[in-house]
Amino acid sequence: MKSIIYAGLVCSACLLLSCTKNSTTPTSTAKINFVFKFDSTQQRLNGFGVPTNVPAGHGAQSPRFNSMSAHYVELTPTSLTPLGGGQILYRANEVVTGGSNAIEFASATLVGNNQAFLSIPISNIAAGNYNYLRVSLAYQNYNVYVTTPFGTIDATLASFIGFNTYINNFKIKDSTVTVNANKQQGFWAFEGKLSGVGFVQSGQAPAGATTVPNPLFATSAVPAGSCVVTGAFATPLSITGNETNDITIEVSLSTNKSFEWTETDGNNLFNPLAPNNDKVIDMGIRGMLVRKL
């Protein structure tokens, strides 16, 4: 009799354990994916998020983007939330190799149009409603038309718009440039070919000249030179914590005449090789629109 009772208890325990194990809900693997879109027809904004034209004495063109990298990503609940007070999703590696704190370019992730620059589990995000997205941009690679005494060439330009970047070396298109130093926001280099011969030119835009649109400047400022671009969601992003499907967020960046230079001859042609050469002054993004696809 005791044997029968013992066997029954063992069976009951096994059944209970089996039921308990099967009733456990698997942790969701759903992710939120942030995708870059580069749009030259999107509204052109100034640093306060207000529509603006190219100023007198300047020339500009809409570059054709190849790739970009981000340094910092934050979901922001309200217009009063200070920078860093929202849900920080990503921060790139920073080093002091060059003598001061700087973004480490060697570890940057470069992506092109309609490609995801960040994917993280939704379970890592606090439940709530988010009205704004903040993205600190670090590096851009695009093509621009360059006027020379021998004709117009289609040049590839690399520009660093993060607050400070430690660069060991970087490849523009075919040419590799070695730096092994920190470079402040606004450092650039382009390569092109004249009569089949390649050449590289580099320079530095003035401090504080890179446009960083922030429509929340009156209630939630960002540090000068940070390149933290702020954009509002078309519809507030709601995270419940119960999501089972992936979410894709399109981050549309305005490249509308975002490459800007001081114009020396009034022809609105970028001619950095002339004796009184045009000088690059601004390479900032001209606005950011955010929507859930």
Residue 55 to residue 187: CA distance in whole angstroms: 22
CA 172, CA 174: separation in Å to the nearest integer?
Answer: 6
- Provide the pLDDT for residue 22: 42
Say how many Å lie between the first and final Cα of the chain, rounded.
66
Determine the Cα–Cα distance for residues 109 and 50; give it in Å rounded to an integer: 30
Contact 141, 190 (CB under 8 A): no
- pLDDT for 27: 58
CB 184 within 8 Å of CB 258: no
Given this model, what pLDDT does residue 123 score? Answer: 95
Amino acid occupying residue 16: L
**Per-position pLDDT tens, the chain of length 293:** 334 333 343 334 333 334 433 433 445 799 999 999 999 999 999 999 999 999 999 999 999 999 999 999 999 999 999 999 999 999 999 999 999 999 999 999 999 999 999 999 999 999 999 999 999 999 999 999 999 888 899 999 999 999 999 999 999 999 999 999 999 999 999 999 887 888 899 999 999 999 999 999 999 999 988 899 999 999 999 999 999 999 999 999 999 999 999 988 888 899 988 767 899 999 999 999 999 99
Position 123, amino acid: S
Instruction: State residue 194's pLDDT score.
Output: 83
Q: Could you give phi then psi for residue 99, rounded to 5 degrees?
A: 110, -25
User: What does the pLDDT read at residue 102?
Assistant: 97
Bridge partners (DSSP) of residue 239 are 128
For 63, phi then psi, to 5°, come to: -70, 155
